[in-house]
A and B are shown apart, each in its own frame.
Chain A
Amino acid sequence: MTMRNLSESCTRVFRAIWRRGSGRYALTVLGLWMAVAVVSLFWTPQPLLATDGYHVWAAPSAAHPLGTDGTGADVLSWLMAGSRTNLVIAALTVVCSGALGLLLVGLMVSRRAGLGSVTVAVVDALISIPTVLIALLLTVPFGASVGVIVGACSIAYGLNLARVARPAAMLAARSDYVGSAFAGGASGWYAFTRHVVPNIAPVLAVQLSISAGTSVLAEAGLTYLGVGVGAGVPSWGHSLATSVKFINVFPLTVLWPGLVVTLAVVALNLLGDALVRVGEEVAR
Chain B
Amino acid sequence: MRFIAHRLLLFAAALFGVSVLVFVALRILPGDVAAVMAGTAATPDRIAALRAQFGLDRPLVVQYLDWAGGLLRGDLGTSALTGRAVVAQVGQRASLTFPLILMSLAVALAIGLPLGCASVLARGRRMRGFLHVVAIVGGAVPALWSGLLLILLFSRGTGLIGIFPSQGFPSEGWRDFGRALASLVLPSVATGIVAGAGIMRYTRAAVGDLVDGGAIDMAMACGMTRTQAVLRVGLRLATPQLVSVVGLTFAQMITGVMVVESLFALPGLGALLIGDVGNRDLIAVQSELFLLAAFFLTLGLVIDLIHRALDPRLRIGAGSGESAARSNGGER
Q: Interface on A for B, CB 8 Å cutoff?
A: 121-122, 124-133, 136-141, 156-157, 160, 163-164, 166-167, 170, 206-207, 210-211, 213-214, 217-218, 220-222, 224-227, 240-241, 244, 247-248, 251, 254, 258, 261-262, 265-266, 269-270, 272-273
Contacts and interface: CB of A to CB of B under 8 A. Distances in A.
B148 A247 contact: yes
Interface string B204-237: 0000000000000000000000000000000000
Contact of B324 (A163, A244, A262, A273): A163
Interface stretch (B76-84, B169-177, B271-279): B271-279
B289 interface: yes
A127 B300 contact: yes
A167 B320 contact: yes
Given A137-B289, A140-B29, A211 B328 contact: yes
B142 to A, nearest CB: 4
Contacts of A258: 141-142, 144-145, 148-149
Given A129-B297, A222-B255, A157 B328 contact: yes
Contacts of A225: 255, 258-259, 262, 270, 274
Given A133-B289, A137-B25, A206-B327, A262 B251 contact: no
Given A251-B152, A273-B136, A244 B144 contact: yes
Interface in B114-145: 136-137, 139-145
Q: Which of B17, B28, B255, B296 has the most CB of A within 10 A?
A: B255
Contacts of B329: 210, 214, 269
B182 interface: no
Given A131-B255, A227-B277, 4 more contacts: A127-B325, A221-B258, A222-B255, A262-B142
A126 B294 CA distance: 10
24 contacts: A128-B300, A129-B296, A129-B297, A131-B255, A133-B292, A140-B25, A140-B277, A140-B280, A157-B332, A207-B327, A210-B329, A217-B331, A218-B332, A221-B258, A225-B259, A226-B274, A244-B148, A247-B148, A251-B158, A261-B142, A262-B140, A265-B139, A265-B140, A266-B136
Interface stretch (B8-16, B39-47, B49-57, B105-113): B8-16
A262 B138 CA distance: 9
A248 B158 contact: yes
B25 to A, nearest CB: 5
A240 B292 CA distance: 27
A156 B255 CA distance: 13
Contacts of A211: 328
B256 interface: yes
Contacts of B140: 213, 217, 261-262, 265-266, 269
Q: Which of B136, B280, B285 has the most CB of A within 10 A?
A: B136
A167 B322 contact: yes
A214 B328 contact: yes
A214 to B, nearest CB: 6
B99 interface: no
Contact of B327 (A210, A227, A251): A210
A210 B142 contact: no
Contacts of A214: 328-332
A46 B326 CA distance: 45
B297 A128 contact: yes
A226 B280 CA distance: 14
A265 to B, nearest CB: 4
Contact of A224 (B137, B248, B259, B326): B259
Contacts of B11: 125
Contacts of B148: 244, 247, 251, 254, 258
Contact of A221 (B13, B136, B255, B327): B255
Q: Which of B10, B26, B247 has the most CB of A within 10 A?
A: B10
Top-3 shortest CB links A-B: A128-B300, A265-B140, A258-B145
A128 B331 contact: no
Contact of B273 (A136, A163, A265): A136
Contact of B30 (A128, A141, A166): A141
Contacts of A136: 273-274, 277, 285, 289
Contact of A141 (B17, B21, B25, B303): B25
B255 A218 contact: yes
A207 B251 contact: no
Nearest to B295: A128
Q: Which of A131, A160, A170, A217 has the most CB of B within 10 A?
A: A217
Given A125-B300, A247-B152, A227 B255 contact: no
Contacts of B94: none
Given A128-B297, A136-B277, A224 B328 contact: no
